Amino acid sequence: MKYLGHVVDHLRKDLRLEWRSRDSINGMLFFVLLIVVVFSIAFDPAGYPTTTRQISGGILWVGILFASITALNQSWTREQRNQVLEAQRMAPSPASALFLGKALANMLFVLVVEAVLAPIFVIFFNLQVLGNAWLLALILPLGTWALVVNGTFFAALGLRARNRELLLPLLLLPISLPAILMMVQATTGVLTADLDPIQIRTWITQLAGYDVIYTTVCILLFETVLNSE
């Protein structure tokens, strides 16, 4: 229980810091709106309605991916000012609690952005969900967590690297490719109703498995990364 207490403390700290300036959220929201517009110009939903429905899952997730990378990149910078990171290392709470708190905070930010993005997306792309829309409420968080948990970890990995902002997508994307495949296939399956429920369920199960495996690995290895100097 104490562990959860630590996690919640870290989470509240990040949320409070973000609430004070709201830089990250505002930036992400506007960025995501711009992405939807760019994709609309690029993929012409009015001109090719069937095709865009078939690729809409992919477009949605690419948009979320770009938005999360912008958030993740600066999620550790507030720990670098005023030598906060040294203080974190010396704190008695386990390092993984810091990681989980931050990952959960990032998750909340991206979910808020998704909640705003999804309706805009539906409007601009004239989307009608042909399958079971409630499944999306399961797929979106699972997929987002897959990106956020690894993203938060790799952002910490590259903390002292030169070219830190470039390094995050270079590390995150290859490792996340199977997860991206799973979330896009599941989302497209629901949106187009081309896949039958068993296939969609398999993708969702795989995605959940990916989440469990990588959350465990991140929690186990975060202490090593925090104390890597």
Partner 1 sequence: MARSSVLRSTAWLWLLATVAVLVVGFRQAIFVAPTEATMGNLQRIFYYHVPHAILGLVFPYINLVASLGFLYWRRRDPLKALTADALAVASAEVTVLYVGICLGSGMLWGKPAWGIWWAWDPRLTTALILWLIYVSYLLLRRFSPAGQIGVLAAVLAVFAAIDVPIVYMSIRWWRTQHPAPVFGGGPDSGIDPAMMPAFLWNLAGWAMWGIFLIAFRFALERRRQIAEQDAALQAIEASLETPQ
Q: Which residues bind partner 1 (CB under 8 A)?
A: 150, 157-158, 160-163, 167, 170-171, 173-175, 177-178, 181-182, 185, 195, 199, 202-203, 206, 210, 213-214, 217, 221, 224-225, 228-229
C-alpha distances in angstroms, 110 versus 57, 78, 87, 90, 177?
A: 17, 18, 27, 30, 19
| Cβ 33 to partner 1 shortest distance, Å | 30
Q: Are 204 and 139 in contact (CB under 8 A)?
A: yes
Q: Are 117 and 136 in contact (CB under 8 A)?
A: no
Q: How far is CA 52 from the centre of its chain?
A: 23
| Cβ 159 to partner 1 shortest distance, Å | 9
Query: In angstroms, how far is the first alpha carbon of the chain from the final one?
Result: 30
Nearer to partner 1, 39 or 203 (CB): 203
Q: Mention every residue, 6+ apart, whose C-beta is less than 8 A from residue 52.
A: 43, 44, 45, 59, 125
Nearer to partner 1, 9 or 223 (CB): 223
Nearer to partner 1, 90 or 229 (CB): 229
| Cβ 199 to partner 1 shortest distance, Å | 6
Nearer to partner 1, 32 or 156 (CB): 156
| Cβ 173 to partner 1 shortest distance, Å | 8
